[in-house]
Structure 1
Amino acid sequence: MTSPASASDHLNAFRGSCACSQLRYEVAGRPLQVVACHCDLCKRMSGGPFCVYVVVREKDFRLTAGATSRYQATDRTTKHFCGSCGTPVFNANPATYQGLAMLYVGTTEDPKRYEPRMNIFCESKLAWVTPNAGSQLFSRSPGEGS
C-alpha cells in the first residue's frame, strides 16, 4: 500500500496524462508543494468544489506527447488543457508564481500520493468542505494574509 506523500517527501520524477492519454508529461524534480485552492476561479475552471495542485518548477516539467490548448482565464492566469478530451492539465501564473506550474493532481499517475499540506483562499471555501487535518490554512494566498 502506498502512503500519501507531501512536498517534503523525497519523491522521484513522476508522470501524468490527460484522460485520453494524447497529452502526457513528466516532472524531473520533486513537488514543491501540494495545494488545495478554494478560490472561485479554480472552482469554475474545474467544475468542482476546489482544486488540488501539485506545484512544480516549470523547468522540471515537460510534455512528452501532445500539445496543450490554452485558455486565458485572467490577465495573469492561463489554463492548459487537452484539446481532445478537455482534461485540465496545469495552470500557469507567471506574474504571481513565476517559474512554477500548478499540475492538476488528478492528472498524475498516482494522485493518492499527494495530500494537500496547504489550503488557500479559504475565505471562498464552501461551508461543507473540511480541509485535511494538519494542513496550513490561508484566507487568501500566503503573503496576502492568513
Structure 2
Amino acid sequence: MPDLALPAEGGCRCGRVRLRILAKPLLTMACHCTGCQSMSSSAYSLSAAIPSQGFEITKGEPVIGGLHGASRHYFCGHCMTWMFTRPEGLDWFVNLRPTMLDEHAWFTPFIETWTAEKLPWATTGAVHSYTALPSFEEYEPLVAEYAGAQA
C-alpha cells in the first residue's frame, strides 16, 4: 500500500472544486451511522482528519449541504459530491472524504464509529471499533497511536 505523498491534491467528481492538503491526517475513520449511510449512499462514510492549517480549497467554492446543523458538510454545488465536513467548535481539523484526493490508495480507516448502526455485512478492517463515538478523552491517545503506526 502506498504512503500519502504531500502535498496531495484532489477534488469533486466534476472538477469544479479542487483542494490540496499539506499535512498528514491526525486520524482516519469510517462512520457507520445511518446519517452517513444516507449521505454517502453507502454502508459507511470515510474520513481523514486533516489539520485545518494543512487544508486549502484551490479552485471553486464548496457549498454547505446535507444537514445544516452543528457539523457543516461541504459539497460541490454542481455535481453535489460530499467533499468534507467541519464540525462546529472543532476548528483545528477538517474531516476530508479521502476519496476526494486524486491518489487515495494509501487510505485505511484506523477507527470505526457508530457500529451499533452498521449494516451486518459491512467490515472496514479498522484497528479500533466503537458502538458510538469514542469519548473526548480517548481521541488524544488514538491520535498518538495512529501517528506511531504511520511512522
- The TM-score range, normalised by the shorter chain, is 0.7 to 0.9
Kindly indicate which of the two structures has a greater share of residues assigned to helix.
Answer: 2
Aligned to 1:106: 99
Does structure 1 residue 143 correspond to structure 2 residue 135? yes
Question: In 2, distance between residues paired with 1:108 and 1:124?
Answer: 27
Question: In 2, distance between residues paired with 1:86 and 1:14?
Answer: 22
Cα 1:18–1:44 shift into 2, 3 Å: same
Describe the SS at the equivalent of 1:79: strand
Match among 41, 47, 51 for residue 53 of structure 1: 47
Percent of aligned pairs sharing the same letter: 22
Cα 1:86–1:21 shift into 2, 3 Å: same
Describe the SS at the equivalent of 1:111: coil
Question: In 2, distance between residues paired with 1:32 and 1:13?
Answer: 15
Deviation at 1:118, TM superposition (A): 0.7
* Root mean square deviation, CA, Å: 2.1
Unpaired runs of at least 5, structure 1: none
Describe the SS at the equivalent of 2:105: helix
Question: In 1, distance between residues paired with 2:26 and 2:43?
Answer: 23
Q: How does 1:97-136 map to 2 (within 5 A)?
A: 97-132=90-125, 135-136=127-128
Describe the SS at the equivalent of 1:112: coil
How many residues matched?
A: 138
TM-score normalised according to structure 2 size = 0.83
TM-score normalised according to structure 1 size = 0.85
